[in-house]
Amino acid sequence: MNTTEGSFYTGEYRNLFLENGLRPEAIQQRLEDTWNEMFYGAPDVRLYHTMDDDKGYIVDTGNTDVRTEGMSYGMMMAVQMDKKEEFDRLWNFAKVFMQHTEGRYKDYFAWQCKLDGTRLSPGPAPDGEEFFAMALFFASSRWGDGAAPFNYSEQARIILRACVHKGEDGEGDPMWDPETRLIKFIPETPFSDPSYHLPHFYDLFALQADEADRAFWKDAAARSRDYLHLACHPVTGLSPEYANYDGTPVEPQPHGDFRHFFSDAYRVAANIGLDYEWFRCDPWQVEQSNRIQAFFRDIDPADYRRYTIDGQPFDELSLHPVGLLSTLAMASLAADGPDAGRFVKLFWNTPLRTGERRYYDNCLYFFTMLALSGNYRIYL
């Protein structure tokens, strides 16, 4: 395997489970079992449910609602696993119940709904839109475009068009800040969420979005990579949940204090790992992945906590220790230090989470299963 270039260029994907001594048949069985448990398993494990003859949804089990985060994650899982029925059901639910057809949020998605599709909040969360768009482009490549709403590639372009150009007619706000070209926490805020930064998606958007916007997406990818250098602490590798456009933690907000390393921020390590696997264009990502793994080297997952970004622990335990462990293992796609193999093995020996808080943990868990088995792939 060519390890000097990313998968985008070589078409090859590392299987870190295989590299760490696991058998190919055991790896494939574990991936399939994880899918089956999350989508069709026991009540205290599964997240996916069908509705009517043509819809499905992913439940945030900690809040008993449906979120664009989980819906778009479910679609990405389904397209990676070549599960068209589940993909189409999830997309149809999102299209019918969550996507706005008029007003300031037209073509954006209401980020939170009840299980019956009733909207709980009209506003969007940009991490949902970027995952929707990428999953739709991959679906177009794997299965081909059909009749609306299953004309996947055009649906993706509609979403990205709104993300970039919303507000140019005086109504609404874009999801990317026009000046910095950095993704916002929500369209109305002048700050970002480091875990939303997916430069590996933006490089692919630059090939598939509206032609007039392709230079924007290429620039957005470069700026997101640079931004993560600022948002991640140079010693610990930890990042805040919300950060200003200069990478500094955002001051406490009316709905909480997000200056610290906690739930949202876990995804940064996974995103950096996948970006390195796909594009391998930023050597800093190796150093960063080594740093964050070194910080957690001697901490038992049962004792994961909230941390200041310079590494001071709070008394508050992590709400999602399996999710954090998963992202630390996914960082091994970029890490080359002594901890890379250890976190892969630790993840392999950790089961899916059960019970009320399982949603976020197991979504991150599944992406790590895909990535470390060489199955989180680019479809163009």
- Model pLDDT, residue 178: 97
Burial of 102-135, coded b for 16+ CB within 10 Å and e otherwise, reads eebbebbbbbbbeeebebeeebbbbbbbbbbbbb
* DSSP summary character for residue 98: I
What number does CATH give the domain 1-41+224-380? 1.50.10.10
Q: How far apart are CA 75 and CA 155, in angstroms?
A: 14
- Model pLDDT, residue 99: 98
Q: How far apart are CA 121 and CA 203, in angstroms?
A: 31
For the chain, domain boundaries: 1-41+224-380, 48-175
Is residue 5 annotated as part of the catalytic site, yes or no? no
- Which CATH class for the 48-175 domain? mainly alpha
Instruction: Pick the catalytic residue from 37, 69, 177, 203.
Output: 69
Q: Which two tokens stand for residue 177?
A: 């800040």
The answer to whether the pTM exceeds 0.75 is yes
Tallying the residues shown for the chain, one arrives at: 380
Is residue 69 annotated as part of the catalytic site, yes or no? yes
Which run of H or of E encompasses 131?
A: helix 126-143
Question: Would the CATH topology of 1-41+224-380 be identical to that of 48-175?
Answer: yes
- Model pLDDT, residue 255: 87
Q: Per-residue pLDDT tens, the chain, 380 aa: give them.
A: 566 899 999 999 999 999 999 999 999 999 999 999 999 999 999 999 999 999 999 999 999 999 999 999 999 999 999 999 999 999 999 999 999 999 999 999 999 999 999 999 999 999 999 999 999 999 999 999 999 999 999 999 999 999 999 999 999 999 999 999 999 999 999 999 999 999 999 999 999 999 999 999 999 999 999 999 999 999 999 999 999 999 999 999 888 999 999 999 999 999 999 999 999 999 999 999 999 999 999 999 999 999 999 999 999 999 999 999 999 999 999 999 999 999 999 999 999 999 999 999 999 999 999 999 999 999 99
Q: How far apart are CA 314 and CA 306, in angstroms?
A: 5
Instruction: Pick the catalytic residue from 127, 241, 264, 361.
Output: 264
Q: Which two tokens stand for residue 57?
A: 């949804």
